[in-house]
Amino acid sequence: MSQSNARYRFLMIHAFSLSDEARHHLRPQHGSKETVLMNHAELAPLLSDVDWDLHPGARATHGDWPVERQEEFAMVGTNRLPIVKEACESGRYNAIVLLGGGDPGFFAAREIGRRYGIPVTTCAHAQMHLAGMLGHKFSIVDISEVHNMQMYHLVRQYGFTDRCASIRNIDYPLPRPPYTHPHTLHGEHAKAERGETSGMLEAAVEEAVAAIEEDGAEVIILGCSGAFWLQRPLQERLVAMGWEVPVFEGYRCAIAMAKSMVDLGVNYSGLMVPSDPPPRSRRRKIF
């Protein structure tokens, strides 16, 4: 992408990439950006006025499987920072969208972006803010016990403990050694697309309904990017049951939030994400 005059010039960066030899891949490793971007068909309308590039993410250094543990999130988050910095320096983008459900590296990445005047948005963060606009409380339908706790940390970190009704665990973890979990999310999307019953979708419906009926959720968001394909079928199933609740996934929310920030010409407050050195300091911060 170059010399674009588009209102929106975005780089989207995957959380990490695996080797071609990885035992399971959650998305195509090669091909056009439209091929590699998960759920592109759903995103296409929102991207229609965006000039966008896609970065496959830094090669994973924690192992050749996806991310769920704190250790893994820390590693891939740090690995992504040089990509953010390089993109900022290139001058080609007016916003950066971090893909991936658990927001690895977001705080550091937005700090880098702010130094260049470039907004950086990401999936869980954007989902929570947009969910907060549309309902009093939201629940996170998420894939596994271990991943849940990353979402838990994000809810606290972003200050949404009062608006998050619950994190609901559907127990469809990402594939990982020793690959013995009775079921994982791998292949569930394909199954659903073929019109077969997806245990993962059924579990998501069950937990979303429980979140609505028991926890007070008025909006549903999805925790892991590997589950973002659930957005449409889960939305349809809930509406069919009479539950008029918005269901979000992270990519569109992060893109929409980036658009809003570009439209309004704003970035994160320099008091939350200070310049270094900051032009001015506060004597105190309060909560």
Per CB under 8 A, which of residues 43..62 are in contact with its own copies? 46
Work out which of 25, 33, 129, 183 binds its own copies, going by CB under 8 A: 129
* Binding flag, residue 23, its own copies (CB under 8 A): no
Total binding residues toward its own copies, as defined by CB under 8 A: 94
CB 43 within 8 Å of CB 85: no
Using CA atoms, how far apart are residues 152 and 137, in angstroms rounded to an integer? 15
Residue 13 C-beta: closest distance to its own copies, Å = 15
Using CA atoms, how far apart are residues 88 and 115, in angstroms rounded to an integer? 9
Using CA atoms, how far apart are residues 239 and 251, in angstroms rounded to an integer? 22
Among the residue ranges 8-16, 31-39, 94-102, 273-281, the one whose residues contact its own copies (CB under 8 A): 273-281
Binding mask 105-124 for its own copies (x = CB under 8 A): x-xx--xx------------
Among the residue ranges 20-28, 90-98, 183-191, 208-216, the one whose residues contact its own copies (CB under 8 A): 208-216
Q: Which is nearer to its own copies, 91 or 270 (CB)?
A: 270
Q: What is the four-CA torsion angle of 13, 14, 18, 20, rounded to 10 degrees?
A: -70
Residue 205 C-beta: closest distance to its own copies, Å = 14
Tell me how far apart the 2 most distant CA atoms of the chain are, in Å: 60
Q: Residue 194's Cα: distance from chain center in Å?
A: 25
Phi first, then psi: give them for residue 50, nearest 5 degrees: -120, 135
Using CA atoms, how far apart are residues 143 and 26, in angstroms rounded to an integer? 14
Binding mask 62-101 for its own copies (x = CB under 8 A): ------xxxx-xxx-xx--x--------------------
* Binding flag, residue 6, its own copies (CB under 8 A): no
Per CB under 8 A, which of residues 212..271 are in contact with its own copies? 212-213, 215-219, 241-246, 248, 252-253, 256-257, 259-260, 263-264, 266-271
Work out which of 58, 167, 200, 230 binds its own copies, going by CB under 8 A: 167
CB 24 within 8 Å of CB 63: no
Work out which of 4, 25, 40, 132 binds its own copies, going by CB under 8 A: 132
CB 33 within 8 Å of CB 53: yes
CB 87 within 8 Å of CB 11: yes
